[in-house]
Amino acid sequence: MQVIASVASMQRLSARWRRQGVRIGFVPTMGFLHEGHLSLMRRARQRAGRHSKLVVSIFVNPTQFGPGEDFERYPRDMKRDLALCREAGVDAAFVPGAEEMYPGRARGGFSTYVVEESVSHGMEGAARRGHFRGVTTVVAKLFNIVQPDLAVFGAKDWQQAAVIRRMVQNLNFPVKVLVGRTCREPDGLAMSSRNTYLKGDLRRQALALSRCLKSAAEWVQSSAKPLSAGKLKTRVARMLAREPNVRLDYVEFFDSETLIPLSKVVRGSHMALAARVGQTRLIDNARL
């Protein structure tokens, strides 16, 4: 496996592979890898085909973190991440630094950003102002650097995947975007690098998020008629309030493709929620 830190070196390698007719599969990550990331790598390898190369980027992107968020303490373990990439058969790990990705940003010299104006406004976009501007900008840069034929994102960040798909469509990126399933711990907690923050009883209390998704699905599937989204939100809020250290940020019911909020919820609707468990902010979602 090649470990590449410079933009120019990654671009040269990708260009050489493409001249050779090799397809490139790509999984962008912020590191601290877990089984969820590894499942995306397997999906990328499978869908790229037999004669392909797999690239994984590891970069904690500063532009998608807002003031007071956990950029500085976001979990990092590059040595472990690279070992997992090697075990997964990754061909190249792209591991740039912040100055390499955003030249001159610390001195005000970086000024070009990509902004998606449709599906990025609600939920995470409303709760974390500027977050998706950072996401779309870094993903656009990574696509231009790695030049992948396909890229795989996780379903746990459902809105993020929708934002990326819209950007790719609107800006004519020659990249196929795939979404891999959410991987969960045996007790139902969605896998996340931030789960490492959950200490003591907070780990148990975090299960309230997945319980809410399961309960909402049962309510919807057992009803012969559409349910009020407002009443479902109230029920979810009450469920979360039973845990002393869980504070609801938002819960939303929406169309899976357009992300348009729904006033009436039926089978096949999508649900997403975000909550703080102690000081740790977690998100989860599911199709009902």
Q: For 110-148, what is each residue's pLDDT tens digit? A: 999 999 999 999 999 999 999 999 999 999 999 999 999
The verdict on 129 and 203 lying in the same domain is no
Rounded Cα gap, residues 82 and 105, in angstroms = 27
Give me the half-sphere count of Cα atoms (radius 13 Å) on the Cβ side of residue 214: 9
| Domain end marker among 180, 204, 229 | 180
Residue 43 · residue 153 · CB < 8 Å: no
> CATH code at 48?
3.40.50.620
Rounded Cα gap, residues 253 and 269, in angstroms = 7
Give me the half-sphere count of Cα atoms (radius 13 Å) on the Cβ side of residue 270: 18
Read off the pLDDT of residues 3-13 as tens digits, 9 standing for 90 and up. 999 999 999 99
Rounded Cα gap, residues 44 and 154, in angstroms = 11
Rounded Cα gap, residues 23 and 34, in angstroms = 25
Report the pLDDT value the prediction gives residue 109, as an integer from 0 to 100. Answer: 84
The verdict on 150 and 28 lying in the same domain is yes
Report the pLDDT value the prediction gives residue 104, as an integer from 0 to 100. Answer: 87
Rounded Cα gap, residues 188 and 269, in angstroms = 20
**pTM (global) more than 0.85:** yes
Is residue 50's pLDDT more than 90?
no
Given 34, 37, 51, 121, the catalytic residue: 37
| Domain end marker among 157, 180, 203 | 180
CA-nearest of 81, 11, 89 to 45 is 89
The verdict on 148 and 64 lying in the same domain is yes
Domain range for 247 is 193-287
> CATH code at 234?
3.30.1300.10
Whether residue 51 lies in the annotated active site: no
How many structural domains is the chain composed of?
Answer: 2
- Residue 39: its H or E element: helix 35-48
Rounded Cα gap, residues 116 and 188, in angstroms = 32
**22 within domain boundaries:** yes
Read off the pLDDT of residues 68-89 as tens digits, 9 standing for 90 and up. 999 999 999 999 999 999 999 9
Rounded Cα gap, residues 76 and 73, in angstroms = 8
Is residue 29's pLDDT more than 90?
yes
